[in-house]
Amino acid sequence: MNNATLPPLDGSTVRRVALLIVGLALLFACSPIWAHGVNENDKAFIEGASGVNIIPYMYLGAKHMVTGYDHLLFLAGVIFFLYRLKDVGAYVTLFAVGHSTTLLLGVLFDIRANPFLIDAIIGLSVVYKAIDNLDGFRTWFGFSPNPKAAVLIFGFFHGFGLATKIQELTLAQDGLIPNLISFNIGVEMGQFMALTVILILMNFWRRTDSFRRSAIFANAALMTAGFVLIGFQLSGYFMQGA
């Protein structure tokens, strides 16, 4: 892409926007209303529906991804320093493969785990990516994990996190497989739409003089949001049944 065609943005404005985004992320992470899961209206539809419902399940899948701040925080970290669409496509594909595999297999084979612990690992994925972007692993430990392997592995946990939520619902066996596949297709559609918006905003940001300086702050904030997600989920784990 031709960088010269886009006008520069004011650095202070970018920083204010970054602060706002981080503040919203922290607010969502601390509120059970925005917790990673299925809201009451969608739950009522899923438990009351029977037969094949391709379009509604595609909509629900897309809605989950677009409103899934934990997924979006991780993906924003993944593409933060990726400038070529080829590289973005490769990493996003790995995440989609991981996410789709555990989502489908977890529900179909009733593979269960504690949802709070899985979601805590999802928060850890955000922390990992922020540290990786800051080159923290090489600085502190003298090596860096394979980034593509890490994205695939964390993709497995992101998909399994949603599977644990779906397992809490009473799903009709009639049309189960087509509905799950439709839901998964919707998830990937929602991911594509969300990433398109993120990439457009980041491409503008990268054309500012302050990007390199702000990148450190942004990834530190991303790491903080990940720790908040971990704390929120672990508190839920220890308080369950209390």
Q: What is the pLDDT of residues 120-179, one digit of tens each?
A: 999 999 999 999 999 999 999 898 999 999 999 999 999 999 999 888 887 888 989 999
Enumerate residues 6+ apart whose C-beta is below 8 A from 77.
126, 129, 130, 132, 133, 219, 222
Quick check: is 64 in a domain?
A: yes
Give residue 192's identity as a one-letter amino acid code: F
Residue type, 205: W
pLDDT at 32: 45
pLDDT for residue 37: 60
Q: Hey, what are 93's tokens? A: 């594909």
Q: Please tell me the pTM assigned to this model.
A: 0.84
C-alpha to C-alpha distance for 222 and 126, rounded to whole angstroms: 7
Whether 156 and 94 have beta carbons less than 8 Å apart is answered as no
Does residue 6 lie within any of the structural domains? no
12 belongs to a structural domain = no
C-beta separation of 225 from 26 below 8 A: yes
Number of domains in the chain: 1
The pair phi, psi for residue 146, each rounded to 5°, is -65, 115
Q: Looking at residue 5, what is its pLDDT? A: 35
Question: Residue 66 has which token pair?
Answer: 């677009």
The residue segments making up the domain with residue 138 are 53-239
- CA-closest candidate to residue 132, choices 86, 190, 97, 91: 91
Distance CA 70, CA 66 (A): 10
DSSP string, 215-235: HHHHHHHHHHHHHHHHHHHHH
For the chain, residues with pLDDT lower than 50 are: 1-9, 13, 17, 20, 24, 29, 31-35
Residue 157 inside a domain? The answer is: yes
Which residue from 63, 137, 113, 101 is spatially nearest to 233, judged by alpha carbons?
Answer: 113
**pLDDT the model gives residue 56:** 92
Residue 106 lies in a domain: yes
Does residue 10 belong to any structural domain of this protein?
no
The predicted structure's pLDDT at residue 145: 93
Q: Are 236 and 116 in contact (CB under 8 A)?
A: yes
CATH assignment at residue 138? 1.20.1250
32 in a structural domain: no
Residue 100 domain-assigned (yes or no) = yes
- The letter for the amino acid at 89 is G
What pLDDT is attached to residue 4? Answer: 34
Coarse DSSP helix, strand, coil percentages of the chain, rounded to the nearest 5 percent: 80, 0, 20
